[in-house]
Every structure is written in structure tokens, then in C-alpha cells.
Amino acid sequence: MIPFRLDELAELLGGELLLPADTDARTVVDGGVETDSRLVSAGSIFFALPGEVTDGHLFAPAAVEAGAAFVVCREDLGLEVPQLVVADGLEALGELAREVVARVRAGGRLRVVGVTGSNGKTTTKNLLRAILAEEGPTVAPRDSFNNQVGAPISMLRIDHDTRFLVVEMGASGAGKIARLVSIARPDIGVVLKVGLAHAGGFGGIDATEEAKAEMVVELPETAVAVLNADDDRVARMAGRTAARVVTFGQAPGAEVRAEDVEATAAGTRFTLVVDGVRRPVGLRILGEHHVMNALAAIAVVRELGIDLDRAIAAIEAVPRAERWRMELFERPDGVTVVNDAYNASPDSVAAALKTLAQIARPEGRRTVAVLGEMAELGEYAQEEHDRIGRLVVRLDIRKLVVVGDAARHIHAAAGLEGSWDGESVLVADADAAYDVLRDELRSGDIVLVKSSNSAGLRFLGDRLAATGADS
């Protein structure tokens, strides 16, 4: 983080500064900001925040022991380092991020890109990071740091040398993205897709659309809104922003367009059409749905004035979307495992199943889908799990293993499709699924493992990928 004096932070965040004896209020702190005591290092600033499972105040002593130089908390914890007592630690974290971004932006060098959407945020962020890091100092979130805590922490990693900041913005309800936009003030705001991911929490697809639109509604006319022309709900956001609109997609009118998309086990190829130029692009990332993420990234860097050939070379070098996202493993026994179980929504499961069918078709390989629950769908849960079961049949996936009672409607729907001569098995948990597959898999099979993070199937995918695993 950029340097601040302790008294300056107290004034900025509106808290009570508690200083150990012989500590000067003008002492400067400039360490990394953390909310997880396990990530603290010497000089860190630790925000003790209450969480869903535990309370960060319980871990403040451990943070100090690990080297934290300053703690922001809601009460005096009797620590041996300076403390700032504030009424709302989350609010203080956001305000600090707002000030840091504003100060760095004042230098005239920083460009900020915000990315949201029901699917594809992390992949698009990773592609942008790959391109922008070749152009200058770039900060982008680690993992999926995209909520009201993770996004500000990512913003706080910038310094006066940072040229590009990419902020991934997720939301659990109305107003969340708007707050992150107000903090980061993106020069370019990207909306990838409006889908049913977390629809149960939002209260439906219309509410999800409203929440995602927050990315572009407050953008000034000097900014750019990058919108998915293939998604009607995203495309109509063009009428809700003062920003200049740039579109991407496979639709004929998209300004940054893909044609001739082809997905194989080696990656995904397409022809990029932009500004009257056609360029072949070969992604190492598996799945045609990632073409949209690549188009969004190219649309952004086009606005930043980055050379198209350099941008293509950068995204072509990205080996995978992210850990546990369409991650491909080739076992020595000829079995291919695609581990895509970091998260799941109806759209992402459908896309993964279509990719499974596409990459198996040329060689006639047997397809196996291992599917768990798609969480946070609320009233849509049964209908959407049913739809996925029917899609498995329509794509002629040869074997289906459904894991957990919460996903049982996938199994039931597939079994009711009389035209299908594949096989569906419902098992209680990941261990049971492993036992079934250990004896079933044979050379040439392609196995997709897909579920929401809460189902834990990403570890089953790792286990299946491991050579000689027998436990």
C-alpha cells in the first residue's frame, strides 16, 4: 500500500487512534493490507473484520505475532501495536481503498478496469492481467477476490508506479457492485453475462440484471462500457449508461467479434474480427465459452491503445483459466480428466457439458460427467437441475455420476429421458463417486467434474487426475 501516517489514517477513517507508549502518531505505515491473519507478514496492516464463520478480532493477536504493524478493529484489543478503533471495519476498508485509488490516479498514470458478470469474471481478469502485465506494472486480484472485502484489498495493492488496475466485482445483492464502482471509479467497465448464478440470493434473474447493470449505470461519459452483444440483458444496458459503449460477441454487429469457433482438447480456436482486420487466435484454455472472455479482454485493451498482435500473443500463452476451472489432466493410462469444479451455475455447467461433448466427438471417445449441486439457485434449483439432466441426454454423454442429494434432480431428469441409452448413477458423496469411477474408467475416456465450490468436487477431480490414486 502507498504510505500513510497513523494520524492521517485516523482522520481519514474517522476512528480513535490508540498508541503504545513511545509511539509517534506521525509514524508511517505502508505494508500490505490483510483480513486473514495467515497472510500477514512484517509491516502488514490487519483489518479485524467479523465474518460469517468466525471473527477476525479473535485472530488479531496472531496477526501481530506474524508481524502486523497496525490493526484496525472495533474495540481496544490490548495489543502492543497501534490500533485504530472504528465503528465499521468493512466501511473503513472501502474508504481506505477509495483514497488510495484516488491518490494514485491523481498522478495521471493509472487506468482502472472493472469486470462483472454471472460467469467468466476470473478468466477475463486473468486474460487482462496477461496482456497488461506486458505493458506496465499491473495489479489484478488473486484467486476470486471480488466481494466487498476482496475487491478493496486488491485495490490497496497498487502504488504510484502502477499503470493498470483490474478489479473483479462480484455481488451477493443489490448495491454491492455500485459501491465497488464508487470506490474504484473504473475508466472501463465490463459486463460479461447475466445468468442464474446466485439467483437465489438476488431474488431472480431480473434482480440479477439490475445488480450487474450497476457496473455501467454510474460510469461518466468519459468512461467506456464494454458489453456482451450476445446477451440481450447485457446489450440493453447500453441505454442505461452515459459512457461510450463498445460491444463484443459473435453477433454480426459486435465491434469485437469471433467467427469460426472450434473447441478441441488442445484448446479453442477462433477468428478475431475487429476494425476490419481478421486474426486467427488459438487459446490454450479449454471451452468455447472462454472465447467470450477473450473477446471482452481484447475489447478492453483495444480501448487502452495496446497493439492487437501483442494482446493476442499474451492470451494465447495463458495455460489455463484458473486452478479448478476447465483444468485438463492427461493420465498415463489414457484417461483425460477435466476438473471444472471451482464453481457452477446453470450456464457454466451447460457450457462445460457442451465442451465435453465437442472435444470427445472427433475421436469418438467415451464421455463421463460427474456433476454435483449448483448452489444458491433458490426457487430455480429443481428446474435448473432438471434442465441439466436433460442436457446430458441431449448431448449423449455416455455416463453420468451425480453426487449428493442436493443434485438428485439431475439424475432423475436424465433417467426419465427414455431415448437415452447412457447410464446415470446417484451417489451420496465424493468418496462414493470415486469408488464408482475407479473401477469404471478406461483408456480413452474423458471425464468432466463440475459442481459448485460448496460441493467439494474439485478435490475429487484432483484425486481422479492423480496417477495411481487408490484412496
Over residues 313-323, the pLDDT tens digits come to: 999 999 876 67
Q: Which amino acid is at 432?
A: A
Assess whether 199 and 247 both reside in one domain.
Answer: yes
15 — phi, psi (to 5°)?
-115, 175
Q: How confident is the model at residue 201 (pLDDT cuts 50, 70, 90)?
A: low
Which CATH number does the domain housing residue 37 bear?
3.40.1390.10
* HSE value, Cβ hemisphere, 13 Å, CA-based, for 383: 7
Assess whether 143 and 269 both reside in one domain.
Answer: yes
Assess whether 81 and 98 both reside in one domain.
Answer: no
Look at residue 130 and tell me whether its pLDDT is greater than 70: yes
Mean pLDDT of the region 287-303 = 96
Residue 321 placed within a domain: no
How far apart (Å, rounded) are the C-alpha atoms in residues 123 and 285?
9
How far apart (Å, rounded) are the C-alpha atoms in residues 97 and 93?
6
| Nearest C-alpha neighbor of 242 from the set 295, 189, 300 | 189
Contact 338, 327 (CB under 8 A): yes
Assess whether 342 and 459 both reside in one domain.
Answer: yes
Which CATH number does the domain housing residue 413 bear?
3.90.190.20
Assess whether 298 and 346 both reside in one domain.
Answer: no
Looking at residue 85, its pLDDT comes to: 98
Assess whether 128 and 204 both reside in one domain.
Answer: yes
Domain total of the chain: 3
Cβ atoms within 10 Å of 437's Cβ, excluding its own: 23
Q: What percent of the chain has pLDDT over 90?
A: 79
Provide the annotated binding site. Answer: 117-123
Longest Cα–Cα distance of the chain, Å, equals 80
- Torsion 378-383-389-391 (CA) sign: negative
Provide the annotated binding site for ATP. Answer: 117-123
Contact 443, 431 (CB under 8 A): no
Looking at residue 230, its pLDDT comes to: 97
Assess whether 219 and 274 both reside in one domain.
Answer: yes
Looking at residue 467, its pLDDT comes to: 62
Assess whether 331 and 309 both reside in one domain.
Answer: no
Assess whether 96 and 76 both reside in one domain.
Answer: no
Q: Strand, coil or helix: what is 53? A: coil
Q: How confident is the model at residue 456 (pLDDT cuts 50, 70, 90)?
A: confident
DSSP per residue, 300-365: HHHHTT--HHHHHHHHHT---SBTTBSEEEE-TTS-EEEE--S---HHHHHHHHHHHHHHHGGGT-
- Who contacts 231 (Cβ-Cβ below 8 Å, separation ≥6)? 192, 193, 194, 249
**pLDDT tens-digit map of 257-267:** 999 999 888 88
Q: How confident is the model at residue 470 (pLDDT cuts 50, 70, 90)?
A: very low
- Torsion 197-227-99-34 (CA) sign: positive
Residue 405 placed within a domain: yes
Looking at residue 471, its pLDDT comes to: 37
Cell of 194: 447475466
Q: How confident is the model at residue 51 (pLDDT cuts 50, 70, 90)?
A: confident
**pLDDT tens-digit map of 381-431:** 999 999 999 999 999 999 999 999 999 999 999 988 766 777 999 999 999
Q: Could you tell me the residue range of the domain that residue 456 belongs to?
A: 327-465
Looking at residue 33, its pLDDT comes to: 96
Assess whether 205 and 172 both reside in one domain.
Answer: yes
Enter the pTM of the model.
0.88
**pLDDT tens-digit map of 232-281:** 999 999 999 999 999 999 999 999 999 999 988 888 999 999 999 999 99
Looking at residue 469, its pLDDT comes to: 45
Cell of 296: 471482452
> For strand 83-85 and strand 16-18, is the pairing parallel, antiparallel, or unpaired?
antiparallel
Q: How confident is the model at residue 202 (pLDDT cuts 50, 70, 90)?
A: low
Look at residue 116 and tell me whether its pLDDT is greater than 60: yes
Mean pLDDT of the region 199-216 = 82
Q: Which of 42, 60, 86 is the last residue of a domain?
A: 86
Average pLDDT of the residues of the chain: 92
Q: How confident is the model at residue 195 (pLDDT cuts 50, 70, 90)?
A: confident
Looking at residue 53, its pLDDT comes to: 77
